[in-house]
Amino acid sequence: MIKGKDLKPHIGIFGRRNFGKSSFINALTKLDVAIVSEIAGTTTDPVKKSMEIFGIGPAIIIDTAGIDDSGELGEKRVAKTIDAIKQIDCAVLLIANNVFDEFEEMLIQKFNKFKIPFLIVHNKSDVEPILNSTIKKINQHTNAIIVEFCAKTSFNIEGVIEALKNTIPETAYQTPSLLKGIIERGDIVMLITPIDSEAPDGRMILPQVMAIRDVLDNNAINVVVKETEAELFLKETGIKPKLVITDSQAFGYVNKIISPDSMLTGFSVAYANMRGPFNDYVRGTRKIDELKDGDKVIILESCTHQVSCEDIGRYKIPRWLREYTKKQLEFDVVAGLNEIKNPITDYALVIQCGGCMITRKQVLSRLSDAIETGVPVTNYGLTIAYINGIFDRAVAPFIK
C-alpha cells in the first residue's frame, strides 16, 4: 500500500509488463534506482522512490506493476496499480511497439475519473518508432502529449522532461500559504500550541511549523506560547493579536481568553483551507446536528502512528460527538491510505484528519467518492470547533 508520507509531487509510471517502466525511471533520474529485467512482471507492487529529476526537482516516483498482469496474484497487483492512481499528481503512460489497446484505454479512463493529468511516452523507439496510425488511435481517446523516447539510449530525455513540466499541475509545486490575504506586515499572530502525550518529542507538528514560517513570510510577528501561559502573557503584555491560531483541542479554553476583536482559528482549520475541499468541509460539518441513533461515522487517519488513550481520532472525537449529539453513534477508523472496505454510502458522516502527511491530491481523492455521492465530509479541526460552539468564528478568516 502506498503511504502518503511525502509532500513532494507524486508521479506514477504506468504501462504493460516489459515495456520499460523501470528503465524509464532510471533514464529519467540518471540513476539505477529501479530493478530492470527482461522477465515480465519484475515490478510486483507499487514502489515509491524519492528522487531528484533533472530539470524538475524533488519528486516521488511511483513504479507500478504491469497493467496486463494475469493470474490470481496478477489481478491483485493490477488492483494495487489502479489504486495508486488515487495518490498521484501526474501520470506517465508508457507504451511501446505501437501497442495501444484495451489496457491503455482503461488506464486513460481511470486517469480521467480521478482528474489526473498525464502524458504518453512511446518507449523503445530504437526498435520501432511510433507510427502515425498509433498517434491517430491515441487521439481518439485523449489529447494528452505524446513523446517518442528510448530508455536504453536516453533519446529525447529533454522532450520527456519538458512534457512532464507542462503536465504536472502548478499546485503540485507551488509553496502553499496558510495565511495569505489574512495577515499583513507588522500584524501580531499568536500561536497557542498545547504539548501533550501525542505531541512528537522534541519537535512540532507540520501545520504548526508551517504557520510559524507563514507568519514570517508575510512579514508579521510570531508569538508562540503553550496554552498554560497564554492568558498570563496577554495580561502581562496587554497585546491584542490580530489573529490567534491554536490546536483544535484547546478551542474551548482559548475562545474564553481571546478578545472577540481578535480572529481565532485552529491549525487544522487553516490547514484544511489550504489542503482540503474547504467549502465541502464547511457544509458537511453542519450536518453533525442531523446525526441519528445508529448512524455510522468513518474517521480517516492519513498516517499511521502509535495509538494512545489520548488519540484524537480513535477516542476523543468519537467520545465528544456522542456527548454533543447525545446519540448512539458507530465509528469505523481507517488508517494510512488503506482502502475503505464498506460502501461510503453506509456512513452518515466522513471525518478526515488534518492531512498533514499527505498531498492535497491525496486528500481530494480520498474524499471524492463521499462528495460525489452526497455523504457529508468534515475534518478534525472543524468538527471540534463545531462541538465547542465556535465553528463560525474558526472558519470566518477563510470565508470569502
Confidence of residue 36 (pLDDT cuts 50, 70, 90): very low
Tell if the pTM clears 0.75, that is, is over it.
Answer: no
Distance of CA 132 to the CA centre of its chain: 38
What are 78's three cell numbers? 493490477
Top-confidence residue, 335 or 356: 335
Instruction: Please give the CATH number for the structural domain made up of 281-392.
Output: 3.40.50.11410
One fold for 10-172 and 281-392: yes
Query: Which segment of 23-27, 98-102, 284-288, 296-300 scores lowest on mean pLDDT?
Result: 23-27
Contact (Cβ atoms closer than 8 angstroms) between residue 257 and residue 231: yes
**In b/e form, how buried is each residue of 176-186, taking b as 16+ CB within 10 angstroms?**
eebbeebbeee
- In CATH, the architecture of 188-270 is 3-Layer(aba) Sandwich (3.40)
Higher per-residue pLDDT: 101 or 303: 101
Annotated domain spans of the chain: 10-172, 188-270, 281-392
Cα(51)–Cα(49) distance, rounded to whole angstroms?
6
CATH of domain 10-172: 3.40.50.300
